[in-house]
Amino acid sequence: MEELNPFIIAQKQLDEAAGIMDLDKQAHKLLREPMQIVTVNFPVKLDNGEINVFTGFRVLYNHARGPGKGGIRFHPSETIDTVKALAAWMTWKCSLANIPFGGAKGGVICDAKKMSSLELERLSRGYIRAVGRFIGPKIDVPAPDVYTTPQIMAWMMDEYSKLVGHEEAGVITGKPEEVGGSEGRFNSTAMGAMYVLREAAKKTGIDLKKAKVAIQGFGNAGMFAFDLVTKLFGSKIVAISDSIGGTYSANGLNYDKLIKTKETTGSVSNYEGASKITNEQLLESDIDILIPAAIENQITGDNADKIKAKVVLELANGPVTLAADKILFERKVMDLPDFLVNSGGVIVSYFEWVQNNYGYYWPLEEVYSKLNEIITKSFYDTIKVQTDYSSSKNKKITIRDSAYIIAIDRVAKAMKARGWY
């Protein structure tokens, strides 16, 4: 049976990179487990007057490079192991981007789609009251993720500020601009991925104007990626999906029509004039670029050999399993790892935090130009490590391994400097 526990996957990815780079054994031991795990059970009053007890988590994986950083997911099948994996990946993401944060993640087991706005507000505030002692602008800074929004961040920031008795915009990022959010944060995850895609296309010789693209997922990341891929590069998006199903048209799909379809029918799969497809079919469709932008474990040992795309741009966290990683590598598919591709979100979160701390706000152009600079550098740093290993050490390693080597090395050096080993 293929390993699908995200935390075991995260540990194995670390082990593999640690082996390649010959990481100090003690540093390796420290990096295999989260430094702090908080589980809370808290009451929320539902609209029918009853109380429901929700379980939430906040994991601080490593803070050697700075306060914890990472989103909060509201997901019905959230588990502590998923949150631990995502917190580990945030550690590598912040380190690779070279921003002064450690890694963290939070989650609440709930079905946000079935809750009213008032219930969601009470849930968000309840979660913050429960984990309030463990977060803060200099401790651990949450942000949005799967099924959490800028509005939810605003409620959480408000609740935290009440808890500590003063305004504390920098406790959380991804807020609406009215309450300290940064220009450009709303689509920064997708925008960062576009800068990576631009450079990857140069390297692989893909003409983005003529490229056919499929996107799995229509949430915070996938929706904006759809808009940007067409606007910036003129590529044709032939397939898109959400949790209900997908739609395919060889002639390409239209963004405005897609938004309307989602709004009026609840799913992009009801797009008129195109064929209904499953999420599995989407992954295997005849395209140049595949953008998994939904959740973990989508490209596995079972379907990796059926992927026709030349480039996989991991916009979701953890969409490719260990077995799939090997298969894609052998098949010479350029698989760009999540903690590089989707780091635009946390990079602009960092800008938001800096702006909150200064109380001085930047224009959109400045945000995008700084994001472009950081993420383009991460891409080339990563490619360079891959090339160096191949030429001087005669080791053929994946782009994921290269990114891990850079990220791990920085965290290990910070732990060493602090005297942790």
CB nearer ligand GLU, residue 362 or residue 420: 362
Q: Could you give the angle at which helices 344-358 and 80-96 cross, rounded to 10 degrees?
A: 70
CB nearer ligand GLU, residue 148 or residue 247: 148
* Burial profile 269-306: b = 16 or more Cβ within 10 angstroms, e = fewer: bebeebeebebebbbbbebbbbbbbbbbbbbbbeebee
Kindly list the residues in this chain that would bind ligand GLU in the complex (CB under 6 A).
69-71, 93, 143, 145, 173-174, 317, 342, 345-346, 349
Tell the smallest beta-carbon distance from residue 97 to ligand GLU (Å).
Answer: 10
Reading the block at residue 398, the tokens are 């994946």
Reading the block at residue 146, the tokens are 């799967």
Q: Which residues, in sequence order, are CB contacts of 406 under 8 Å at separation 6+?
A: 95, 96, 381, 382, 385
CB nearer ligand GLU, residue 17 or residue 97: 97
Tell the smallest beta-carbon distance from residue 192 to ligand GLU (Å).
Answer: 10
Half-sphere exposure of 14 (CA within 13 A, CB side): 27
Tell the smallest beta-carbon distance from residue 252 to ligand GLU (Å).
Answer: 29
Residue nearest to ligand GLU (CB): 71
Tell the smallest beta-carbon distance from residue 364 to ligand GLU (Å).
Answer: 18
Distance between CA atoms of residues 215 and 217, nearest Å: 6
Tell me the Ramachandran region of residue 318: left when phi exceeds 0, alpha when psi lies from -120 to 50, beta otherwise. left
The answer to whether 192 and 97 have CB atoms below 8 angstroms apart is no
Which residue of the set 69, 105, 175, 310 is catalytic?
A: 105
Tell the smallest beta-carbon distance from residue 145 to ligand GLU (Å).
Answer: 4
Residue with tokens 């990796």: 304
Reading the block at residue 82, the tokens are 């998923």
CB nearer ligand GLU, residue 119 or residue 338: 338
CB nearer ligand GLU, residue 246 or residue 345: 345
393 is catalytic: no
Give me the active site residues, please.
105
